């Protein structure tokens, strides 16, 4: 990141650089970014970490991460849920894991302007969208996964589908940049948005989870005042002042990734001051090497689980970039046509 005038409590440039170094040291030679050294890689969190690399100007490492996805993509356009040192350890194929490539490549384009790289990635992006759309149900919602046995789930999730909508819009932005019209993609995205805004009964209820609360804002499902109203409605239920956002409403456990994603959602509404306040609370979860503990159980003054993950680090970097007004990150997480 370029040097900036910081809001109180935000990580400074040196802190961000150490966080990025943590991700780079964890990235494997083939480009995969596991959760931590010796851990597994999943496609969604891998993209989140790659986007942080782009936000910090480490474009070659980010491109290597996207290229890894291109090489390991399944013939049907999907990815498996878990990879461990090049070996598949979970053969589930999750729709939102696949769709996040659209967000990552859109962000990469805005950070680099590298059209040649997009052309190389285009077949993978097109195959990904085809896979996701095959899982779209008649009501517009997208089934969350295909089981290892090849059975499509009939269940759809608000968080996953909000992320899928974000990914489809990213894929459409990439297609537009390449001069390619994809009306079927746009129609599918509109149907998905309609299901999310007008038919909550089509989604499995997971109201305990903060992601179901803020993801319709983060993924660009809601617009205008509806975004601010949604965040205000459950703010006291999920946010612990001075610490961050709970992962689930009924547990005394705040997590750095959910807090950072909520900050990104606040930035989409224009409330960067509240976003900065949230990020300031994450200093308690920061390790001296620049990484972040996944979560903190505040009655026990204990980190849990005992892990520091690349995707958590990535979420903090992206949220900081958005608060500071970095153009690429701000645009990707802004509500379209708002």
How many residues are given for the chain? 338
The domain segmentation of the chain, as residue ranges, is: 1-6+207-329, 31-205
- CA dist 315 and 295 (Å) reads 13
- CA dist 132 and 160 (Å) reads 12
- CA dist 183 and 61 (Å) reads 33
- CA dist 325 and 319 (Å) reads 10
Q: Residue 9 in contact with residue 306, Cβ under 8 Å?
A: no
pLDDT number for residue 80 = 98
- CA dist 168 and 60 (Å) reads 24
Q: Please, what is the end-to-end C-alpha distance for the chain in angstroms? A: 26
Q: Residue 105 in contact with residue 129, Cβ under 8 Å?
A: no
- CA dist 73 and 328 (Å) reads 26
How would you class 88 by CB atoms within 10 Å of its CB: exposed for 0-12, middle for 13-18, buried for 19 or more?
middle
Contacts of 134 (CB under 8 A, 6+ apart): none
Question: Which CATH code is given to the segment(s) 31-205?
Answer: 1.50.10.10
- CA dist 299 and 319 (Å) reads 26
Per-residue pLDDT of the chain (338 residues; tens, 9 = 90+): 333 344 557 888 999 999 999 999 999 999 999 999 999 999 999 999 999 999 999 999 999 999 999 999 999 999 999 999 999 999 999 999 999 999 999 999 999 999 999 999 999 999 999 999 999 999 999 999 999 999 999 999 999 999 999 999 999 999 999 999 999 999 999 999 999 999 999 999 999 999 999 999 999 999 999 999 999 999 999 999 999 999 999 999 999 999 999 999 999 999 999 999 999 999 999 999 999 999 999 999 999 999 999 999 999 999 999 999 999 999 999 976 54
Positive or negative CA dihedral for 244, 311, 21, 1? negative
* R_g of the chain, CA atoms, integer Å: 18
């Amino acid at each position: 990141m370029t040097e900036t005038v910081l809001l109180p409590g935000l990580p400074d440039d040196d802190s961000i650089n150490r966080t990025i170094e943590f991700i780079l040291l964890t990235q494997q030679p083939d480009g995969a970014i596991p959760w931590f050294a010796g851990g597994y890689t999943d496609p969604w969190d891998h993209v989140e970490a790659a986007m942080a690399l782009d936000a910090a100007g480490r474009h070659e490492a980010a491109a290597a991460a996207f290229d890894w996805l291109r090489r390991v993509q399944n013939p049907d356009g999907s990815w498996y849920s878990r990879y461990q040192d090049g070996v598949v350890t979970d053969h589930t194929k999750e729709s939102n894991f696949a769709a996040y490539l659209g967000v990552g490549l859109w962000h990469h384009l805005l950070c680099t302007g590298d059209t040649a790289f997009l052309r190389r990635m285009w077949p993978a992006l097109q195959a990904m969208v085809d896979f996701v759309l095959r899982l779209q149900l008649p009501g517009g919602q997208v089934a969350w996964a295909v089981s290892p046995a090849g059975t499509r789930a009939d269940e759809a999730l608000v968080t996953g589908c909000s992320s899928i909508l974000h990914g489809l819009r990213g894929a459409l932005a990439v297609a537009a940049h390449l001069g390619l019209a994809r009306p079927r993609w746009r129609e599918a995205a509109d149907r998905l948005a309609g299901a999310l805004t007008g038919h909550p009964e089509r989604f499995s209820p997971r109201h305990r989870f903060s992601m179901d609360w803020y993801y319709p804002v983060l993924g660009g499902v809601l617009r205008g005042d509806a975004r601010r109203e949604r965040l205000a409605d459950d703010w006291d239920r999920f946010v612990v002042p001075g610490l961050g956002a709970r992962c689930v409403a009924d547990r005394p456990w705040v997590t750095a990734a959910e807090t950072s994603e909520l900050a990104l959602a606040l930035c989409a509404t224009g409330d960067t001051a509240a976003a900065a306040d949230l990020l300031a609370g994450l200093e308690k979860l920061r390790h001296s090497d620049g990484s972040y503990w996944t979560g903190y159980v505040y009655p026990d003054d204990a980190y849990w689980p005992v892990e520091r993950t690349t995707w958590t680090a990535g979420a903090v970097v992206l949220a900081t970039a958005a608060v500071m007004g970095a153009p690429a990150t701000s645009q990707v997480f802004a509500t379209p046509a708002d």
